[in-house]
Amino acid sequence: MTETAMRKPRDFDAELKALNDRARTLKDRKVKQLGELVIATGADTLDIDTLAGGLLAMVKDTKAERKEGLRKVGAAFFRGGGEGEASDRPESNPAATAEADGLAQPFELKPSEN
């Protein structure tokens, strides 16, 4: 008679916790990278309402040609070229440099008082 080895039961709770921790880590990294992108492009000099309006306009834009044009400008920015490249670099932006050095206070989104 052969003995069959029993499989160790899976700990679904531990696996779910690990997945949730991983998802939280990825979300935190995404938020940090988006903040770094805002600073690197110089968009941190815009007031929050203007920045939000610009982003919403881009999301709602359905013209493929315009989106492709924006994509090309963005790709050029990441390659080191593009429009206003000297002013877009964090080295030329004192706030971005302070943020990179950990000297600046964290930015908090607050609703505008209109």
Question: Does residue 21 lie within any of the structural domains?
Answer: no
Question: Does residue 17 lie within any of the structural domains?
Answer: no
Question: Does residue 3 lie within any of the structural domains?
Answer: no
pLDDT tens per residue, range 60-114? 998 999 999 999 999 999 998 655 444 444 444 444 444 444 434 444 444 444 4
| Torsion sign across C-alpha atoms 23, 25, 49, 60 | negative
Its pTM surpasses 0.85: no
Domain of 66, in residue numbers: 32-100
